[in-house]
Structure 1
Amino acid sequence: MVTPRRTRFESLSEGATVTTLELFFDLVFVFALTRVTDWMAEDSSAEAVLRGVLILVVMWWSWVAYSWLGNVAKADEGLIRLGMFVAMAAVFVGAITIPEAFNDLPGGLSGPVVFAVAYFCVRAVHLAMYWVCSRGDAQLRAQIVRVVPAAVLGTVLLLVASQTEGWVQTALWAAAIIGDYVGTAVAGASWRLNSASHFAERHGLIIIVALGESIVSIGIGVAELPISWPIIVAGVLGLAVAGALWWIYFDVVTLRAEHALAEAGGERQIRMARGGYTYLHLPMVIGIILMSLGLKKVLLYIGGGEGHTIADPLYGIPLAALYGGAVLYLFAHVGFTWYVLRTANPVRLVVGAVLLAVMPLVAGLPAIGTLGFLAAVLSALVAYEVHRYREVRQHVRHVGPA
């Protein structure tokens, strides 16, 4: 007996919400983000941070592929549910392999090879599930066929990179990522977006996941240190920084962006979703994770961990991660706002430029002073925007996006 088509997948409808299985999938991504942050914190060299960012990009591509799939068919129905669990297993294997993604540890399997194979499985399952969902849609199937070379190129280059080391390995990773991203971009915009609200919600939730990692970094950074007033103050300041980033994203812009995405149609909507969400949300997530690395180091300094004292300044890679991560987030959010809404926000650009300019100056402050200045600047930005755009804000939040 042939299995009825309805049991293989169920199309998503406009206005649908994120499923619990997708939230479950995100928990694996939370673990991956934590592993990347911890791995970068152990070394904190420029090379380690660069490689950490490359890992983040690969993991992001693994996550974002299923945000598109889950917008075509319900993630918790039919074959798609099975595919999600298989993909989760592959992402989890990749996450536990992160410390060996570049340099294999003695004994056991080859870490770089395992990571590359796990990524291949994630992409293969994604494309297979998309093929199932595209039954009867010749245009979508043609789009899937066009994107296969990019997926194959990315995984092959990661496998080749697993047999190399040093700068050659890093360059091959970069080439794999660029090939995958560019190949997907030039393959066309004939994808399907069944629910703008679901798509926007998925990406909003992943920002929450990344911000949650920043909170975890604050807690883990002092987990084994005795509680003290400096730790309490620094913890609250770190929470203020994370809260400001939340406010910047969720207070107004995300509501207007979701409305604009729903109003768009055809290829314009697909390009808006791909450019504004798939591509421009990535630097936001990277910025938050880099900031998490900086927060983790600040709390260690303040708590007297790793031989530091409360008077020690934050400098070098940890300082660049803390301030640079916040700046990257601000700039990426400005880009997202412009791409989706065609609205410029020069104030946020100015604040980002100021943070970059003052980095050499705050490097001479104790770590808690460096964190306090960042919290003060971001909080002032939020306060200014609440006052400056209070009428627009009131309308968007309580009447409807304009």
Structure 2
Amino acid sequence: MGSHRWRDRLGPAVAIAPGARVDKFEVFFDLVFVFSFFIITRATAMNITGASLLHALLVLAVLWWCWVVHSVVAARVRLGEGFVPVLMVIGMAALFCFALSLPQAFADPRQNAAGPMVVAVSYLVIRGVHLLLYWHVAQEKPGERRLLLRYSPEVVLSTALLLAAALVPPQIEDLGRAMLVRDLLWLSVVVLQYGSGLVAGAWGWTITSAEHWTERYDLILIIALGESIISVGVGGNLLGQPVTWPAVAAAVCGIVFTAALWWAHYDVVGPAARIAQHAALGRPRVAMARDAYAYVYLVMIAGIIVFALGAEEMVRQIADPHVSLLEPTHGPGVPLLFGGVICYFCGTMLFQLRTLRTLSWSRVGVVAVLGAAIPAGVLLPALAALGLLTLICVGLVAVEVVVMADSRGALRTAVFQEKTTHEAHEVAFRAAWHEPEEKDGPGHGGGTPPA
């Protein structure tokens, strides 16, 4: 009785409508994912090894699956309406605890069991909130509830595997074997999650608003790009060092090449893919949403985190007054920086291939050039290597602006017409708020919008 009373006061859950856009609460929820990306980068940057990179990618994959499930729920119900924000705040708190515990998830299993347990319990709460919310909004569609039950075993098994990763390794005396068991359990979680999405296929699900779905993923990718800038600035200790011209040059290069990566996706490929998502209907729309956005975006975000680690290493060397600017780059900075950008561009190519059925020779060329530039970058000073990467990324943008001028112009015209048409409809709708003022004249208080 009490639960029905507070739900009535807050209002019911409201379904997503065709053409719906992302609301402000969803952006607010994404702040926790910003923190999660930051924690993954910071924890890995403390000791960059092959094992730590593997652990970072495993954690990122599990975290991203939570995001995918979250986006599926958001494609069904408006997260900022009715009683739904209350549940989402619970999910946010669990996600925050999940992120706080990530640095301890792969620590010595014999000395730290609390961190992995918090990870497992927080994960269960996050998935439970999403499951209960979807179950509630699907109450009028028994078929949809039965479909949801088919996916429930994945939640149970993945949580059980994370709990096993927290409880089993401490019982193994040999440290190497304990760490191997833990890593294999985490890998099993990732295989189970993404495998279940592939096995289940696109049957039964719907994407009511393609605009909401594409905008949701575009925003999280921008957040990941912004987090990479924060990581470089904070991790490179630019705030703690006196301002120097080399540090300023490194900061400018970081902004410019990140902007080039943004341009590479959002100038042509992203808007064209959004139109393709709108054009697809039924199962093809769901399949494209799963493959291109839920799966391929993970490749792009993984690339962003990897190149952020490399850029941080290089910026730290550039900002260090005790290191000569002519000294060749040391450490894993260049392979991480160039390799992460290669991973990002490979993700954009896969995304373009899946949504538009095309492949740009310029993207293939820039991946080849970046791969060939790694041996040279290792021999260059850090600032020169960072400048070389920036030049390559800006060069790609310049080439595509020239080569794709006609198709780019046609696309931008179509997108602009769509935007102005939408804005005109909004203006026409809000014109009704001013009709009393026009009829009664000034001073009659007719300008207040109706309740």
State the TM-score, normalized to the length of structure 1: 0.95
1:292 paired to 2:308? yes
| TM alignment of 1:6-17, pairs within 5 A | 7-17=11-21
Corresponding residue to 1:84 among 67, 74, 88:
88
- CA shift, 1:316, in A, is 4.7
Matches within 5 A, 1:50-61: 50-61=54-65
Q: Which residue of 1 aligns with 2:263?
A: 247
The alignment partner of 2:367 has SS state of: helix
Segments of structure 2 that go 5 or more residues without pairing to the other structure are: 170-177, 419-451
* Structure 2 residue 386 is matched with structure 1 residue 360: no
**Residues 246-285 of structure 1 aligned to structure 2 (within 5 Å):** 246-285=262-301
Could you tell me how far 1:57 is from its partner in structure 2? Answer: 1.1
Shift of 1:280: 0.4
> Are 2:197 and 1:184 equivalent residues in the alignment?
yes
Q: Deviations over 1:7-61 (max 9, x none)?
A: 3310111221111111111101001111111111100111111101111111111
In structure 2, give the amino acid aligned to 1:202.
R
Higher relative contact order (CA 8 A, sep 6+): 1
* Count of aligned positions: 401
- Distance in 2, matches of 1:20 and 1:399, equals 27
Q: Displacement of 1:358 after TM fit?
A: 2.2
Cα pair distance change 1:308/1:135, threshold 3 Å: farther
Deviation string 1:351-384 (CA, Å, 9 cap, x unpaired) is 1122122212210111111111110001000000
8 Å CA contact retained: 2:113, 2:166: no
Change (3 A) 1:121 1:365: same
CA contact (8 A) 1:314 1:363 kept: yes
Aligned partner of 2:298: which letter?
Answer: L
Moved more, 367-376 or 317-326: 317-326
- Counterpart residue type for residue 44 of structure 1: I
Query: Could you tell me how far 1:109 is from its partner in structure 2?
Result: 6.5
Instruction: Assess if the C-alpha contact under 8 Å between 1:46 and 1:317 holds in 2.
Output: no
Matching residue's letter, 2:266: F
Q: 1:274 to 1:315 in 2, by over 3 A?
A: farther
SS at match of 2:201: coil
Quote how far apart the aligned CAs of 1:105 are. 8.9
Match of 1:215 among 229, 238, 242: 229
SS in 2 for 1:320: helix
C-alpha deviation, 1:106, in angstroms: 9.7
**What's the CA shift for 1:391?**
1.3
1:153-182 CA deviation, whole Å, 9 max, x = no partner?
212111111232422211211111111110
1:3-402 residue pairs with structure 2 within 5 A? Answer: 7-103=11-107, 110-163=114-167, 164=169, 165-189=178-202, 190-220=204-234, 221=236, 222-304=238-320, 308-400=323-415
CA distance in 1, matches of 2:154, 2:112: 31
How far did residue 314 of structure 1 move? 3.1
Rounded to whole Å, the distance in 2 between the matches of 1:384 and 1:324 is 21
Q: Partners in 1 of 2:114 and 2:331 — Cα distance?
A: 32
- Whether the aligned pair in 2 keeps the contact of 1:153 and 1:180 (CA below 8 Å) is no
Provide the aligned C-alpha RMSD in A. Answer: 2.1
SS of equivalent to 1:368:
helix
Deviation at 1:387, TM superposition (A): 0.7
Check the 8 A contact 2:94/2:125 in 1, yes or no.
Answer: yes
**Contact 1:131-1:144 within 8 A present in 2 as well:** yes
Taking structure 2 as the reference length, the TM-score comes to 0.85
1:261 Cα deviation (Å)? Answer: 0.7
Question: Do 1:154 and 1:176's aligned partners in 2 also have CA atoms closer than 8 Å?
Answer: yes
Q: CA deviation at 1:315?
A: 4.7
1:363 alignment partner, SS class: helix
Measure, in 1, the Cα distance between the counterparts of 2:261 and 2:227. Answer: 13
Q: Alpha-carbon deviation of 1:308?
A: 4.1
Which of 1 and 2 has greater Rg?
Answer: 2
Where does the alignment leave 5 or more consecutive residues of structure 1 unmatched? Answer: none
